[in-house]
Structure 1
Amino acid sequence: MDFEKRIREIAEGHGANFFGIADLSTARDAVLDQGGQMIAQYPRAISVGIELLHPIVDELPNRNRREVSISYRLHCYDIINQRLDLIASHISSVLQKEGYRAFPVPASERVDDERICAIFSHKMAARLAGLGWIGKSCLLVTPEAGPRVRWVTVLTDAPLNATGKPIEDRCRECRECVNICPVRAFSGRPFDEKEPREARYDASVCERYLHFLGETTGSAVCGLCLYVCPYGKETVFKLFGKKLFSRIVQQSDLSSYDGHEKRK
């Protein structure tokens, strides 16, 4: 069996909805800057994604209700991260058994509190693998499910040839994610790989707002930029039909938060 096909079947057999291979050579400087030489030594990345549960995502405007925030944190974050990490571990073991080096990057673990980032960008790998584009929310937007996907990456030196190519930004003039953000964390600038993340997204503002939510509601859950993306809502329409798609969900009351900050 073709080796790349075998790796894909492992991922999909364990519940992955998205699979791609990225050539990291064009992004080496960015990889080196974020993760250092230990991470930059790997020439390829295997990107794996799991689609979130849409009925839970669609309740995010009501995230001030404890049952909503708990469901999202558990089923759209903690459990899916665990599933992704298990897939990455399994793939890494197979690669190692075949004589190749493999480094599974945790699905969601911060290593730099100052820059608020992980050791490697899963979104970068998914974009370079041709699975989606970076939206104005700085989330990876897929044509099939919008940003309603969580990702994991396996870095490797295995000679995987079926690498993807980045696809064009399809957000165009849409600003739904920018407009819905309670703290105006997004500048609205389209993605440009030559620009730093800070040109598009103020992670510290988002961080402070999540901390506020954790103190006031008991659960640091927002996700409105994830919820509102038209590509994700189109998926809901296709899966569940017009009746559910058209259901109006009122946005949570944000009046108690006095830390709103507008980007300059």
Structure 2
Amino acid sequence: MVDLFGVADLSPATDYIQEQGGEFLGDFPYCISIGICLSDGIVDQLVYHDDPQVQFTYTFHIYHVVTPRLDEIALLITQKLQRKGYRAFPVTATYNPYIEKTDSIVSDAYKLRSIFSHKLPAYLAGLGWVGKNCLLVAPEFGPRLRLTSVLTDAPFPTGEPMEDQCEDCNLCVDICPADALKGRSFSLEEDRDERIDAVKCHHYRRGVLQKKLGSRGCGLCVYVCPYGNPKISKSTPTPKVPGLENS
């Protein structure tokens, strides 16, 4: 089952895409964006941030349940497009060669980028906006999503970007235990590093969390977003999280 589906015209971001992933990605003018929502029952438990079972369940749910399904769906779409005579390139839902090849902590922000940003086509397709948590925020699901992408030359009708609706909400910024989010709104003209310190985020997840609890999920910026959590509004004080200094 797919919860979000749309097609993006990639022309506004061609230079950025080629710079990040390689010139060959410029051969594909369109991108099919697919999203599957996470289990609310699992995400809602993230307020118990220092519970090893909560972190394990969240991490397993993302990387071993939802992500493989997204990759399967992307492959099926690719095969159907190829049978119709179109070119297609399925981008794996989660893979970073620098991280997958080592258990060490990466300190180079550039190496914390994958070949292609799944948030970008989802934004361009109008499935949501990129929030201050640097995640796609969909009106119905908030950031409680995983995404994948299929690059193609098939000329499907495309969507239009959605306006940012974070406004003055900073709940994700305030709750971040790594102090990695900078509170800046998304802009196509601005590099990711202007909005998030990816090294701080990575060091917290791979260093503090994994060493302490055995999992690297975190997910507090996903949990706290009012667009995915009906118990929280933009005016809600930052929730108290056991085990965090900001509690």
TM-score, with structure 1 as normaliser:
0.83
For the structure 1 residues 112 and 194, does the alpha-carbon distance in structure 2 shift closer, same or farther, using more than 3 Å as the test? farther
Q: Of the candidates 21, 24, 35, which is equivalent to residue 21 of structure 2?
A: 35
Q: Secondary structure at the match of 1:22?
A: strand
Q: How many Å separate the matches in 2 of 1:147 and 1:112?
A: 25
Q: CA deviation at 1:181?
A: 0.4
Q: Secondary structure at the match of 1:74?
A: helix
Runs of 4+ in structure 1 displaced over 3 angstroms? 111-114
Q: CA deviation at 1:66?
A: 2.2
Higher CA-based Rg:
1
Count of aligned residue pairs for this structure pair: 229
CA RMSD of aligned residues (A): 1.7
Matches within 5 A, 1:110-129: 110-111=96-97, 114=108, 115=110, 116-129=112-125
Residue 181 (structure 1) aligns with = 176
Q: Which runs of 5+ in 1 are unaligned?
A: 1-14, 238-248, 256-264
Residue 140 (structure 1) aligns with = 136
Does the Cα contact within 8 Å between 2:56 and 2:214 map onto a contact in 1? no
Residue 170 (structure 1) aligns with = 165
1:105 aligns with 2:88: no
Paired amino acid for 2:180? A
Q: Of the candidates 210, 214, 219, which is equivalent to residue 214 of structure 1?
A: 210
Q: Secondary structure at the match of 2:199?
A: helix
Q: Of the candidates 22, 40, 47, which is equivalent to residue 54 of structure 1?
A: 40
1:198 aligns with 2:184: no
Q: Secondary structure at the match of 1:130?
A: coil
Q: CA deviation at 1:254?
A: 2.9
Larger RCO: Structure 1 or Structure 2 (Cα < 8 Å, ≥ 6 residues apart)? 2
Identify the range of structure 1 (175-184 vs 75-84) with the bigger mean alpha-carbon deviation: 75-84
Q: How many Å separate the matches in 2 of 1:98 and 1:233?
A: 41
Residue 11 (structure 2) aligns with = 25
Q: How many Å separate the matches in 1 of 2:187 and 2:114?
A: 20
Q: How many Å separate the matches in 1 of 2:163 and 2:120?
A: 14
Paired amino acid for 1:93? Q
Residue 58 (structure 2) aligns with = 72
Q: CA deviation at 1:158?
A: 1.1
Q: CA deviation at 1:112?
A: 5.6
Q: How many Å separate the matches in 1 of 2:228 and 2:244?
A: 24
Q: How many Å separate the matches in 1 of 2:243 and 2:183?
A: 24
Q: CA deviation at 1:250?
A: 5.1
